[in-house]
Structure formats: C-alpha cells, structure tokens
Chains A and B, each alone.
Chain A
Amino acid sequence: KQEVTQIPAALSVPEGENLVLNCSFTDSAIYNLQWFRQDPGKGLTSLLLIQSSQREQTSGRLNASLDKSSGRSTLYIAASQPGDSATYLCAVTGANSKLTFGKGITLSVRP
C-alpha cells in the first residue's frame, strides 16, 4: 500500500527566504508525482507535474525534483512571498491511476 509522508506539518518563514518542502513515498512504482497548492477551504491548484522518467520541473519561482528510486521529492520555492502562504500537498499516481496524497505542509510566510 502506497504511503506518502510530508514533514513537517507546518512551517513559518520570513519573507524572501528560499525554502524546501519535502515529500516521501514508500512504493517507487509510480507514474508521476504532482505538487498542489490549497488555500483554506478551497480546492487544489496543480503547481507541477513530474513524470516518473523526469528528474525535475520548473515553473517560475518553483522547482520540483523527483528521485523515484529513493522515494523522495522536493519542492523548492525561491524568494518566498506572503502570497505563498497556503497548504502544499504532494501526490503520487500509482498503477491503478489513483492519487495518493500526503497530509500536506501548511506554509506561513511572514511579511
């Protein structure tokens, strides 16, 4: 059974800091990994999708890496801003095409 872990559960940083959010998964037989952002009470916004054959993806100030063999992914956020405050979830797609999510990391960026 696939399990996805995100530690810590919450993180508070000052504005401008570069930060790394970690995600680990137990079964390396995945098709892809997606990072999502969720604002309080809202749906999920897809940030980055990394296919299993890829090592990383970049979008603006965001960079996500994937090490499938070790079951790890990181989301790097450069020059954090208060508007980045949200919960960040990673999810892996398995052979049955379903997403397995971590519990998320709640990020607070202080002005």
Chain B
Amino acid sequence: DAGVTQSPTHLIKTRGQQVTLRCSPISGHKSVSWYQQVLGQGPQFIFQYYEKEERGRGNFPDRFSARQFPNYSSELNVNALLLGDSALYLCASTPQGRDGYTFGSGTRLTVV
C-alpha cells in the first residue's frame, strides 16, 4: 500500500507569490493534517480536516488556507509568500483523529 504522498518534493517561489501543496492520504484514512517545520524546530500544526470539514486550525495567518476533497486528498495554499514561510511542509493522515499519524516525506518550500 502506498503511504502518504506529497507533491511537489521541492519548490522555489518569490516573495508575494502563491503556492499550492498537495497531499494524498493512505487509502481509507479520512483525516488529513498539515504541519510546518522550520529548521531546528519541531513541526507546528496548521490545519486538520476530517471528512472534508475543517476540524482545527493552528496559529497561522489567513494567508494559509486548505481544503479536503471527496477522495480525502488535500491541498494547502499559501498566498502572498514571505521569506519566513520557507520551511518543510508535512502532511499526515490517520483513520480518525486519535489513532496515530503517518507522515509524508514533505514539501521543501524556499521563498526568495
């Protein structure tokens, strides 16, 4: 079985641009979460979706948004990129919110 897949693996954007990151959960997992990890820190919670509904949002500005599709895949969008948005963005899935999480390999975003 495929694990959690994220795309793209790496990307470079310019300040002010917009970016969309994609995540496909493990088959059968209905909950998808997004985390941001900056160098030297633990991942920080951004969003959680369950059955296409937002179940939680971390302390991130409104420039960050996400959605979950009927097939449970998810997109994370970040508008008006800042240099400080440079980070590893991780997607995680779980059958339900409290069953332990499986993470993807992440998307490395660099804003220049």
Chain A, interface SS category: strand
Query: B56: CB under 8 A from chain A?
Result: yes
Q: Would A103 and B42 count as touching, CB distance under 8 A? A: yes
Interface residues of A in 74-104 (CB under 8 A from B): 89, 91, 93, 96-104
Question: A85 CA to B62 CA in the complex, in Å?
Answer: 38
Q: Which residues of B lie under 8 Å from residue A93 when comparing CB positions?
A: 97-98, 101
Does the CB pair B42–A4 fall under 8 Å?
yes
Q: Is the CB of B105 within 8 A of A42?
A: yes
Question: Would you list which residues of chain B between 25 and 60 have a CB under 8 Å from chain A?
Answer: 31, 33, 35, 40-45, 48, 55-56, 58
List residues of A (20-73) whose CB comes within 8 Å of B's CBs: 31-32, 34, 36, 41-46, 49
Q: How far is the CA of A103 from the CA of B43 in the complex (A)?
A: 8
Evaluate whether A34 and B56 lie within 8 angstroms (CB atoms) in the complex, with A43-B106, A103-B40 already known.
Answer: no
Q: A42, A46, A102, A103: which contacts B100 (Cβ < 8 A)?
A: A46
Partner of A43, one of B44, B56, B90: B90
- Considering the complex, which residues of chain B in the window 45-96 have a beta carbon less than 8 Å from any beta carbon of chain A? 45, 48, 55-56, 58, 88, 90, 92
Contact count A vs B, C-beta below 8 Å: 62
Whole-angstrom distance between the alpha carbons of A96 and B48 in the complex? 10
Bound CA–CA A32/B98 (angstroms): 7
B108 lies within 8 A of chain A by Cβ:
yes
List, in ascending order, chain B residues with CB within 8 A of A99's CB: 33, 35, 43, 45, 92, 101
The CA-CA distance from A31 to B96 in the complex, in Å, is 12
Cβ-closest chain B residue relative to A100: B45
* Contact yes or no, A97 B98, CB < 8 A: yes
Known interface pairs A89-B42, A97-B98, A99-B92; A36-B108 also in contact (CB < 8 Å): no
A34 to chain B, nearest CB (A): 6
- A31-B98, A32-B100 given as contacts; is B108 within 8 A of A41 (CB)? yes
Some 8 contacts from A to B, beta carbons below 8 A apart, are: A34-B101, A43-B104, A45-B103, A46-B101, A46-B103, A98-B56, A99-B101, A103-B41
Q: Give me the 6 closest cross-chain CB pairs, A-B, nearest first.
A: A97-B97, A101-B42, A43-B105, A44-B103, A49-B100, A31-B98
